[in-house]
Structure 1
Amino acid sequence: MLDYDLNERGSVSLYEYLYQRIRDDILSGSIVAGEHLPSKRGLAQHLGISVITVEGAYDQLVAEGFVRSVPRRGYFANELPRAATVPRLKDAADRDAGSVVPGRAFVPVSDLPKTSLDGARLWQRALKTVLASESERELFAPAPAQGTARLRRAIAAHLRGSRGMDVDPEAIVIGAGAQLLDTMLVQLLGHAKTYAVEDPGYLRLTRIYQACGCEVCHIPLDAEGPDLRELEKSGADVLHLMPSHQFPTGRVTSIARRYALLGWASQRSSRYLIEDDFDCEFRLAGKPIPPLAAIDAPGCVIYTNTFSKSLSSALRLAYMVLPDRLMKRYRQELGFYASTVSSIDQIVLAHLLETGEYERHVRRVRKRARDARDALVAAIAQADLEGRVRLEGADAGLHAVLAIKTDLDEHDLLRVFGMPAGCVSALADHLWCAEHGVSDGLRRLVVQYLALEKELGGELAEILRTIL
């Protein structure tokens, strides 16, 4: 029986402390691969806590891939590859906590009117405040190539509080959108490298790399993430991936696969992983999935994120965190660039992060997405579609996949639904190579929660009931 002293948890919640202890025991080998964990009820009785607390900890461990759930048998520890590790932050707050300082993301579908409008209003208020209260000398001074020190400090504090990352502000580079940073990374890493992207995935990535004159290969996904054998066969030097919430499948890369990918990257000094953490703040259940960069002991992960999902795609504000060896090269080879984001915009964003306004906005957006998801799940249940329709990746972020058992193809379904643009798309439309699609006979549609009004969820479920 697992035996933990809950009095040592400090200010950490019971569920998070239990999750951390079991996770650390699996990483250290104290809980061996394949070991049967105590039942939820048994562990709850042993520790004197509620079953719901144990269930929350187990669910998070399953979501991150440390543990697997076997129906009618219980929970078992997964086998993890040997890999170097980095220390975890003991006091990292969860995503709902306020910023440490009173204080991304590709947008595959940009038609998010309510969120964009809310973000615009938030930005407008902050801009007025900053223009009225900040020094003109600071507002109109040219920003350094990496971005203003103030914004980089605010982002580092934000990453520590929301993602558990201990980031040096000097390792952060701010740019006008993810696409600009991607092209800058090609200049930094080299045009002669082969760049791998996930398939299905964000098709614009392929076009960006091709436009830079790079060779691009497409890596299929399996249940645990990017297919490692296909990656090794591809001859790729760089893999661009979305491990915490893959677009469009919604899959989360398992912890075992993450360590395996780090192992792949560390085999050669020329290999890198570009981690796109595009909607990391919007996991709808449990703790956020820790970023790959948080366990990157070899120093081969380039972490990228933007504020497009949370604020608006119209605000071209993105950033990347470079490993030490790349940061030195950036200063030597690309430090001549002028900052691509105005000083005023950088100060406004820093103000939102520092005051906690940004965190409060994120919580409002997350609640809206959760309400849309709950309405869709309830509508599917009411329409009695169990066994014929399932929602995949429902809790992982701002989109999910609707898997439907029907003879109609995905585009026929879209025509029947007649949903607003940006609300629902065919998963097949996000494939570069048709052979990388799932061949289980189900049709899959990508549903964007923030574009799906509550009433549209009921309408969609009713159409499905009629069709099926």
Structure 2
Amino acid sequence: MGQLVTEKDRARGGTTRRIYEALKAQILAGTYGPKDRLPSTRALAAELGVSRTTVTAAYEQLLSEGFLESRQGAPSRVALLHEQQPARPLDEGTPSGAVSLPATPVRLSRFGATLAEGPVWAPPQSDALVADFRYGDLSAADFPAEAWRRAVNAALRRRQPRLAYDDPGGSAHLRTALQAYLWRARGLRCEPQQIVIVNGSQQGLDLAARVLVDPGDRVAVEDPGYVMARRVFAAAGAEVVPIAVDEEGLRTEALAGLDAVRLAYVTPSHQFPLGSVLSARRRQELLSWSGRTGAYVIEDDYDGEYRYDIRPIPPLQTMAHAENVLYLGTISKSLSPMLRLGYLVVPPPLYPAFAAAKQLVDRHSPSLDQEALAEMIASGAYERHIRRSRRSNGRRRTALLAALKAELGDQVTISGADAGLHVVVWFDRLGKAEEGPLIARARAAGIGLYPVSPLYAACEAGHRPDRAGIVMGYASLDVTEIGKGVAALARVLRG
């Protein structure tokens, strides 16, 4: 016990807590066995060089938690605990007072085990870079802070008579506003009772996996495609079937040869990441397949607002025979990924199950944020912001394409530049094995680049081009940063 508290510990304070934790660990490890006497508070205080009051407080905490038992006038003794291990000597080389608890196996559900195998979110390193081309990020300067503040204030002024849980499907105010917005912006007709407000598109995918997919069901996904979609279906126990994409989008003829596919996940308006648009012929083939097999189609319209040459491509759900299509939208690309709001437009028969699933997961999305977004849409501020963002990102896109042409010329091929907030850059003179080294060298030069390879399913890599490729997002950078970043990339390639 003499080394239980060091001089450094005393200088930092919190001595009572450290005495309590050390004694508790020793009791659980069996260093102090059942009915063993602990040193008196006076003796331990003298040994550690602390006040008796400090030690007494630690003992009282252990007594209140049932680790100790005490009688008036008798010394404190260790209580009989179910989790106690037999008394054993400390390992050689282990400092006095340190405890090495036996390792216990980690037991996870199949869901947990599937998730544990995947990558964990890592914080961005943009502040340390000359230019970070990470896709999915937006510029903080584009966020309409004043319009959002007014919308939040307006929502707060509509005070409710009581604070209570809300409709799991979402605020009636927001669903009505979204119904009108989707008709104006995307030509999509629906009823408010078909809309489920979710915490971003990721929760929309999670709810779809819970409601529509059983373990062992087959789910078709684009390849390359959105990794988080693949992971959510795999975690639900589905067999994820990658389907190749080309310049016309998902190769729908591959669906005809698959048996018992329960669901297909697609990004038809701007395929992620390659940027192709699902052709009219393949749209009809996809819907025909869905109607014939009864499979559902999730249409992820993650950045449909950003098209720079023509009007946004109409959603699948606007077409005939789209009864099995679920439309998934988000404000993560139009407003902010930090505001976790998205929406599902589901076929009417599915609404009760989705609303019940949403209630079970988290009751409902934050009411204040929903009301503020509804206020922005109803006032026209949201669409004015989108028009400004489209112009700003159009300038960034133009700057990126011009810089790539000027600095790299015929060394690269660019895909997906007609819409969205990112492009895919293929390096025609570098094999795909050089993708990792290129990214590492760029990082050392202060440039954040992100490979295309992880977006391909590992088991279906035969159609992946044998070239190094990167996904370059530009929505978080200004024009000057884009130019500096591409120039630095050119220097890396020359080196």
What TM-score do the two structures reach when normalised by structure 1? Answer: 0.69
Query: For residues 141 and 357 of structure 1, do their structure 2 counterparts lie closer, same or farther at Cα, with a shift above 3 Å needed?
Result: farther
**Conserved 8 A contact 2:414-2:424:** yes
**Bigger Rg over Cα:** 2
Q: Distance in 2 between matches of 1:418 and 1:333?
A: 42
**Conserved 8 A contact 1:148-1:346:** yes
Q: Map Cα deviations across residues 330-350 of structure 1 (whole Å, 9 max, x no partner).
A: 468877777421322211110
Q: Map Cα deviations across residues 417-467 of structure 1 (whole Å, 9 max, x no partner).
A: 339999531111212226436554433211112134322332344345443
Q: Percent identity?
A: 34
- Which of 415, 419, 433 pairs up with 2:458? 433
Match of 1:279 in 2: 303
Q: Map Cα deviations across residues 340-382 of structure 1 (whole Å, 9 max, x no partner).
A: 2132221111001101111122122222211111112222333
Q: Distance in 1 between matches of 2:447 and 2:177?
A: 32
Query: For residues 416 and 175 of structure 1, do their structure 2 counterparts lie closer, same or farther at Cα, with a shift above 3 Å needed?
Result: same
What SS class does the counterpart of residue 367 from structure 1 fall into?
helix
User: After the TM superposition, which of the residue ranges 424-433 and 160-169 deviates more from structure 2?
Assistant: 424-433
Counterparts of 1:28-107 in structure 2, within 5 Å, are none
Counterparts of 1:380-395 in structure 2, within 5 Å, are 380-383=404-407, 385-395=408-418
**Conserved 8 A contact 2:246-2:276:** no
Match of 1:407 in 2: 430
- Which of 135, 138, 146 pairs up with 1:112? 138
Match of 2:481 in 1: 456
Unaligned stretches of 5+ residues in structure 1? 1-107
What SS class does the counterpart of residue 359 from structure 1 fall into?
helix
Match of 2:204 in 1: 181
Displacement of 1:309: 1.3
**Conserved 8 A contact 2:447-2:488:** no
**Conserved 8 A contact 1:391-1:402:** yes
User: After the TM superposition, which of the residue ranges 282-291 and 411-420 deviates more from structure 2?
Assistant: 411-420
- Which of 438, 444, 453 pairs up with 2:469? 444
Query: For residues 121 and 234 of structure 1, do their structure 2 counterparts lie closer, same or farther at Cα, with a shift above 3 Å needed?
Result: farther
What SS class does the counterpart of residue 344 from structure 2 fall into?
strand
Counterparts of 1:206-355 in structure 2, within 5 Å, are 206-235=230-259, 236-269=261-294, 271-327=295-351, 329-330=353-354, 339-355=363-379
Match of 1:89 in 2: none
Displacement of 1:267: 0.6
The answer to whether the aligner puts 1:123 opposite 2:148 as a matched pair is yes
Unaligned stretches of 5+ residues in structure 2? 1-133
Counterparts of 1:102-181 in structure 2, within 5 Å, are 109-114=135-140, 118=143, 122-131=147-156, 133-137=157-161, 140-181=163-204
Q: Distance in 1 between matches of 2:311 and 2:199?
A: 29
**Conserved 8 A contact 1:250-1:392:** yes
Query: For residues 451 and 411 of structure 1, do their structure 2 counterparts lie closer, same or farther at Cα, with a shift above 3 Å needed?
Result: farther
Q: Distance in 2 between matches of 1:232 and 1:278?
A: 26
**Conserved 8 A contact 2:393-2:421:** yes
Query: For residues 219 and 378 of structure 1, do their structure 2 counterparts lie closer, same or farther at Cα, with a shift above 3 Å needed?
Result: same
**Conserved 8 A contact 2:220-2:242:** yes
**Conserved 8 A contact 2:399-2:482:** yes
Q: Distance in 2 between matches of 1:136 and 1:420?
A: 54
**Conserved 8 A contact 1:175-1:319:** yes
Q: Runs ≥4 in structure 1, deviation > 6 angstroms?
A: 331-338, 419-422
Q: Distance in 2 between matches of 1:128 and 1:331?
A: 28
Q: Distance in 1 between matches of 2:301 and 2:444?
A: 28
Displacement of 1:150: 1.1
Query: For residues 319 and 204 of structure 1, do their structure 2 counterparts lie closer, same or farther at Cα, with a shift above 3 Å needed?
Result: same
| C-alpha RMSD of matched pairs (Å) | 2.7
What TM-score do the two structures reach when normalised by structure 2? Answer: 0.66
The size of the alignment, in residue pairs, is: 356
Displacement of 1:328: 5.3
**Conserved 8 A contact 2:135-2:474:** no
**Conserved 8 A contact 2:413-2:428:** no
**Conserved 8 A contact 1:414-1:425:** yes
What SS class does the counterpart of residue 280 from structure 1 fall into?
coil
Q: Distance in 2 between matches of 1:142 and 1:180?
A: 19
Match of 2:213 in 1: 190
